[in-house]
Structure 1
Amino acid sequence: MREHEARDKKPNIVFFIADDHRFDGIGAYGNQVVQTPVLDSLAAEGVRFTSIYTMGGQTAALCVPSRACLLTGTNVFQATVTEKEVKLGETENQQLWAIHPSLPTWPEVYRREGYRTFGIGKWHNGKESFARSFSDGANIFFGGMGDHIGLPIHQYDPAGHYPTDQAAPSEKFSTELFAEAAIDFIQQYEEEEPFVLYVAFTAPHDPRTPPQAYLDLYASDHIPLPDNFMTEHPFDNGEMHVRDEKLASSPRKPEEIRQHLAEYYSMITHMDEQIGRIVQALDQTNRREQTIIVYTADHGIALGQHGLLGKQNLYDHSIHIPLIMQGPGLPKGAVAGGLCCQMDIFPTLCELTGTSLPQTVEGKSMVRMITGEDTKSRKTVFAVYKNVQRMVSDGRWKLIRYFRSGEVGTNRTQLFDLYNDPWETRDLAEDAANQEQLQRLEDELFVWQQSVQDPMLHERGSEG
């Protein structure tokens, strides 16, 4: 390819998304225990975003709404098909929590723009949306979780049919399986059009069974407990008995949580190495300089923080995610500290690549924040969990409102000063000096709930 043609050609995108990888599970984000040299290098060569939040969801399988928001650039109440729509049968073959058929995904937009879009790995948002998003793919897993060896894997079907009984169990560890499909794609790609390579790992989601060599890197008795480790959560948050919370004994035992963390870090280090192999393939095929690399996660996870184990809560360990971008058009070694939402990734990619943005997208581009023209993208971020929790944060002050639902939950509010209490251990909701902050955030949460038609407003209103 001639030099001017390479310069004028739109950049490729390699998009990595992990499952359950919280924001502080990377060395570049300040974790001094986990070994992530590849992600650290990408952060040093690109942009590290420090305040990206998910919007939670209305189901315990939070990867579904989180990925739907990311893929469509819309809020958590709009991104997926609802129970009401399934009951009404508004479209054929609707699957609960699948991406709403009226919303284009960002890979689908790039496909329309002439990109070759190639999907690999986990897709938990309905088979129909995968079919319209990707022009090709390999080693596709339609589901939420499973053993990392033996996952039911589909190969790409141009007709978009993926019968469950045609999936074959994988023989390799999922992270390696997905990485090798990505490497094969990069090495064999000869077309002129740019590509989107979407690689969705099932790591570091449980079952956390990393190859032994990676587990040997972390002696569990040397793993420090987080500053907000608790043996029990101090009250019923409305979701104390979900599957994730039963993966360790209760009350929590320090040695057991250390083992969970050792396995978690092992999975992350193994994934980091596989990402390094994919990046190396870009280097070897001379595509690195024409490729935007993105690394993020669907959501985080507790693993002992606040006495919790899963992600079905609205503390930062569960809704605060990593985001790293590196490549053409992006500064090197930059830190973007402004408050942003997961759905802002879609419009940011479109602006970076000069791609038309659908009118359905609610997210805001972060490009001005990346370049330093603006210090923040958003004034506040919001999140939900089922009908029992709601959250609003302005980056410093954070409010979590809990509701009682039937026999579970507690009617109460928490208020945290994240500047002085980043581990969220000191609840200031009853502090008279902070009542103005609490009322302000409550008002902002109510206005947002109205704007997105939060169904809980109607539910709570009818109760009153």
Structure 2
Amino acid sequence: MRLLLFFLICAAGLEAAPNILLIVADDQRPDTVHALGNAVIETPNLDRLVACGTSFSRAYAGYPICHVSRAQILTGNAAFKALPKYPEGAIDPKLATLGGTLQKAGYHTCYTGKWHNDGHPKQRGYTTTSGLYSSGGGKGVTQPEMDERGRPLTGYRGWTFKDESNKAELDKGVGLQPDNSRNVAEGAIHAILSAPKDRPFFLHVNFAFPHDPRQWPAGMKDRYEATKMKLPANFAPRHPFDHGNIDGRDELLLRTPRVENEVREELAIYYAMITDLDEQLGRILEALPARDETIILFTSDQGLALGSHGLLGKQNEYEHSIRSPLIICAPGLPKNERSAALVNLSDLFPTLCDLAGVATPATVESKSLVPLLRRETERVHEFVTGAFTDTQRMICDERWKYVLYPKAGREQLFDLQNDPDEMRDLSADPAQRERKDELAARLRNWREQNGDPDL
């Protein structure tokens, strides 16, 4: 059977197909890359990727929660279709997956790092795992309740690294440890070095940083001085209304009203976690056998508030949370490019298929970004959308954003061209009534077409 597969791969020309490296951070804001305008943060390896590819300034997560955003990437579909029991539950088994599609095309597929969807990566099209980090395996092991700052160690309770047989590697600790990104990188490097030489590989790496509980990574203590951290331009002591997650775990990590010094301290650790992730990314890039001939994508499952609009978490439709950094590098494509085109993270599935010369499955409803990458067009989407539980729905075009809060009975309208920090809500402005109604109607139509269960 393996011999037959080898001949099929050769016949299809995949022995010369490019390797693929997909890296996904966790909760990394879109404004946290030095080369893209953040003068404070240190990200030399992300800067290298920026220089060798195209950076998208308006890449939207679609749903700002880890497992849902990742389900959209895995299936190339919006949340309502990726998860039949939206927003929880299993990925629709009728949908093709990114790993499975590339595996069937002859790729060796490997998954590394955080797995936050149902089942196991091997059930979703990945041939193997290396450095898998997932829930369970820490039963009976005592975890610290508080960090060194005396704050609760929330999130990732009981999570452990697993070997390929899914046995917990307790020597790497339980929960989100300060060296998590290093362990993820070790798994990715092992996967690269042990990948078969007779076919291309697809390595999907999901970091767990800079998600909370935020801790100084090893060797990064006080890398950024809290007193010198600049608060976001749209920092506020509190959000003006319950947006749908005002009492969520993320929002309770710091006091409300927000205290400026506490937010600065959180930002300092957050930046250190990103710089540490960047360092580990550099190690992975150095391990690639032919980096210039490899398709490399970097993104995050969504952003984070961290004081913006009085919020801390990602469960909102503001740009700092619903958008992600996105950098795409591939052989033969323009370098050091910037694109302000509207794109979705779910577009990564057909984009990778297109770049690899693999047919995109019929179940994928997202769009390839290759025409943008090749400068063949300036637009693949007229608008993008966002959602969170039954409490938030969003639509935005190249200039305007409309947000609906069904439970709160609120609306927002922002002019992103003149107000990129979304500090002036124009929803009550009579001069914008027609524009607001037009966007609201377009949003409702999209919800109907995509099976929104809360209509």
Q: What TM-score comes out, normalization by structure 2 length?
A: 0.89
Q: Does 1:12 align with 2:19?
A: yes
Match of 1:397 in 2: 400
**Offset of residue 81 of structure 1:** 4.0
Cα distance in 2 for partners of 1:212, 1:358 equals 43
Alignment of structure 1 residues 30-429 onto 2, 5 Å:
30-56=37-63, 62-82=65-85, 96-128=88-120, 130-143=122-135, 151-157=159-165, 162=166, 166-171=167-172, 173-282=179-288, 285=289, 287-404=290-407, 410-429=408-427
SS of 1:15 mapped into structure 2 = strand
Q: In the alignment, is the contact (CA less than 8 A) between 1:303 and 1:309 conserved in 2?
A: yes
Q: In the alignment, is the contact (CA less than 8 A) between 1:122 and 1:201 conserved in 2?
A: yes
Q: In the alignment, is the contact (CA less than 8 A) between 1:149 and 1:174 conserved in 2?
A: no
Match of 2:149 in 1: none
Q: What TM-score comes out, normalization by structure 1 length?
A: 0.87
Question: Gaps spanning 5+ residues in structure 2: where?
Answer: 1-11, 137-152, 174-178
Task: Indicate how the Cα distance of structure 1 residues 76 and 370 shifts in structure 2: closer, same or farther if over 3 A, else same.
Answer: same
Cα distance in 2 for partners of 1:81, 1:167 equals 30
**Offset of residue 128 of structure 1:** 4.4
User: For each residue in 1:5-26, what CA deviation from the matched residue of structure 2 results, as whole angstroms up to 9, or x when unmatched?
Assistant: 9997110001111110121111
Cα distance in 2 for partners of 1:132, 1:253 equals 43
1:218 corresponds to which letter in structure 2?
Answer: Y
**Offset of residue 190 of structure 1:** 4.6
Cα distance in 2 for partners of 1:109, 1:261 equals 39
Comparing 204-213 with 365-374, greater Cα deviation is found at 204-213
Q: In the alignment, is the contact (CA less than 8 A) between 1:210 and 1:270 conserved in 2?
A: no
**Offset of residue 212 of structure 1:** 5.0
Task: Indicate how the Cα distance of structure 1 residues 249 and 82 shifts in structure 2: closer, same or farther if over 3 A, else same.
Answer: same
Cα distance in 1 for partners of 2:437, 2:14 equals 52
Cα distance in 1 for partners of 2:360, 2:17 equals 15
Which consecutive segments of 4 or more residues in structure 1 shift more than 4 A?
5-8, 144-151
- Identical-pair percentage: 41
Q: In the alignment, is the contact (CA less than 8 A) between 1:45 and 1:332 conserved in 2?
A: yes
User: For each residue in 1:139-168, what CA deviation from the matched residue of structure 2 results, as whole angstroms up to 9, or x when unmatched?
Assistant: 2122399778984122223xxxx5xxx423
SS of 2:220 mapped into structure 1 = helix
Q: In the alignment, is the contact (CA less than 8 A) between 2:77 and 2:366 conserved in 1?
A: yes
User: For each residue in 1:265-311, what CA deviation from the matched residue of structure 2 results, as whole angstroms up to 9, or x when unmatched?
Assistant: 000000000000111112xx3x2132111101111110000000001
User: For each residue in 1:228-248, what CA deviation from the matched residue of structure 2 results, as whole angstroms up to 9, or x when unmatched?
Assistant: 000010112122101100000
Q: In the alignment, is the contact (CA less than 8 A) between 1:56 and 1:385 conserved in 2?
A: yes
User: C-alpha root-mean-square deviation of aligned residues, in Å?
Assistant: 2.2
Task: Indicate how the Cα distance of structure 1 residues 170 and 301 shifts in structure 2: closer, same or farther if over 3 A, else same.
Answer: farther
1:101 corresponds to which letter in structure 2?
Answer: P
SS of 1:213 mapped into structure 2 = coil
SS of 2:191 mapped into structure 1 = helix
**Offset of residue 130 of structure 1:** 3.9
Comparing 428-437 with 246-255, greater Cα deviation is found at 428-437
Q: In the alignment, is the contact (CA less than 8 A) between 1:121 and 1:202 conserved in 2?
A: yes
Cα distance in 1 for partners of 2:182, 2:341 equals 34
User: For each residue in 1:298-351, what CA deviation from the matched residue of structure 2 results, as whole angstroms up to 9, or x when unmatched?
Assistant: 111100000000011111111101111113132111112211111111111111
